[in-house]
């Protein structure tokens, strides 16, 4: 789940349209140095929390490689960043989703117009024809997977086959919110590039640009302070009701596995109505709480593996329930009780 999966009141640009990068200068430098060495690894696993700019960095790298075919060219060797002028034809074509050298794998709508929960194997097999056909444009072929976490089992295996025998001048940029959970066979074929949550100042600047607000807007500062380094979360929390809902949800989550039905009724009432930003704040709070528990268990050698498995399974159930609630405008109080019931059971 993410702020992009449950529409909030402020819809950020798609990363392919986002040219500004806030923070992550070390990661950008690592990509740039690897590229201009002439020996860039063919696959990168860009990992980190949701909404911190992983996809923005991936598209930034893709544009740079597509615009500068020769890594040893003087302009590449002199470059300090991966920035590309917005008027450059590559920037315009990538923003329009129309560059022949770039393939993006991401969840799509099914025949009924509903967003799929996974990236399918048929979509992933497009990489075979993409890398195997006669180039529509000269130079690099770049594939961005946003996110590798959403590949189903067959799709992950199909991607692995391409990674095992990478075509010449191919570049794979795999985005993951939970890189430790990516198939070890895929991890082993990628250079890992972990991204840290953004500093609050960077969140403020990025969110101000996305929301077209002044930097000194008090609401923006409050949302950024609660966003824990995520621009997507800051945009979700903009507005007093969404921020208060987030704070109330976080407080109740921290009492699990104890559940107070009276508090859940109050939370369900607060979630009522049609405000999508409030629903997004609730979903994002739950998503963040589960992700933190999974990361903590992944890092803990003495982790309770059965509990870890239960939490991962519950995460999938909650994701589907949240998407259904948003897409079909269902009653929200049952979602609240279902979420807390599932999480309480998983933790016992």
Task: Give the pLDDT score at 64.
Answer: 98
Least confident segment among 46-50, 91-95, 192-196, 273-277: 273-277
pTM above 0.95, yes or no: no
Confidence of residue 9 (pLDDT cuts 50, 70, 90): very low
The predicted-structure confidence for 281-295, as pLDDT tens digits, reads as follows 898 889 888 888 877
The predicted-structure confidence for 314-323, as pLDDT tens digits, reads as follows 888 888 888 8
Using the predicted structure, report yes or no on whether residue 51 has a pLDDT greater than 60: yes
Q: State the average pLDDT over residues 172-177.
A: 96
Task: Give the pLDDT score at 319.
Answer: 84
The residue extents of the domains of the chain are 15-194, 198-238, 240-347
The predicted-structure confidence for 204-243, as pLDDT tens digits, reads as follows 999 999 888 999 999 899 999 989 899 988 988 887 788 8
Confidence of residue 3 (pLDDT cuts 50, 70, 90): very low
Q: Which CATH number fits domain 15-194: 3.30.360.10, 2.60.40.420, 3.40.718.10, 3.40.50.300?
A: 3.40.50.300
3-state DSSP of the chain: CCCCCCCCCCCCCCHHHCCCCCCCHHHHHHHHHHHHCCCCCCEEEEECCCCCCHHHHHHHHHHHHHHCCCCCCHHHHHCCCCCCCCCCHHHHHHHCCCCCCEEEECCCECCCCCECCCECHHHHCHHHHHHHCCCCCCCCEEEEEECHHHECHHHHHHHHHHHHCCCCCEEEEEEECCHHHCCHHHHCCCEEEECCCCCHHHHHHHHHHHHCCCCCCHHHHHHHHHCCCCHHHHHHHCCHHHHHHHHHHHHHHCCCCCCCHHHHHHHHHHHCCCCHHHHHHHHHHHHHHHHHHHHHHHHCCCCCHHHHHHHHHHHHHHHHHHHHHHHCCCCCHHHHHHHHHHHHHHHC
């Amino acid at each position: 789940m993410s702020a992009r999966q449950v529409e909030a009141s402020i819809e950020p640009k798609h990363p392919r349209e986002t040219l500004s990068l806030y923070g992550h200068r070390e990661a950008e430098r690592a990509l740039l140095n690897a590229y201009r060495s002439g020996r860039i690894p063919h696959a990168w696993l860009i990992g980190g929390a949701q909404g911190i700019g992983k996809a923005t960095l991936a598209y930034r790298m893709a544009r740079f490689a597509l615009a500068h075919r020769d890594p040893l060219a003087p302009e590449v060797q002199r470059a300090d960043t991966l920035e590309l002028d917005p008027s450059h034809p590559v920037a315009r074509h990538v923003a329009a989703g129309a560059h022949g050298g770039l393939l993006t794998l991401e969840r799509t709508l099914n025949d009924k117009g509903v967003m799929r929960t996974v990236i399918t194997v048929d979509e992933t097999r497009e990489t075979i024809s993409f890398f195997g056909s006669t180039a529509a444009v000269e130079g690099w072929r770049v594939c961005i997977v946003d996110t590798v976490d959403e590949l189903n089992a067959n799709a992950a295996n199909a991607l692995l086959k391409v990674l095992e025998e990478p075509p010449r001048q191919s570049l794979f940029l795999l985005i993951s919110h939970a890189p430790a959970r990516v198939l070890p066979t895929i991890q082993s074929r990628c250079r890992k590039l972990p991204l840290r949550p953004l500093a609050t100042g960077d969140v403020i600047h990025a969110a101000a640009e996305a929301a077209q607000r002044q930097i000194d807007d008090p609401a923006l500062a409050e949302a950024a302070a609660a966003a824990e380094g995520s621009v997507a979360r800051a945009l979700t929390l903009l507005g007093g009701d969404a921020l208060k809902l987030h704070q109330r949800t976080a407080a109740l989550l921290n009492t699990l596995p104890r559940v107070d039905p009276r508090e859940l009724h109050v939370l369900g009432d607060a979630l009522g109505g049609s405000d999508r930003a409030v629903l997004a704040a609730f979903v994002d709070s739950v998503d963040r709480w589960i992700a933190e528990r999974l990361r903590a268990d992944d890092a803990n050698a003495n982790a309770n593996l059965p509990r870890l498995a239960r939490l991962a399974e519950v995460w999938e159930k909650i994701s589907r329930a949240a998407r259904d609630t948003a897409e079909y405008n269902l009653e929200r109080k049952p979602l609240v009780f279902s979420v807390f019931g599932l999480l309480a059971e998983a933790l016992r």
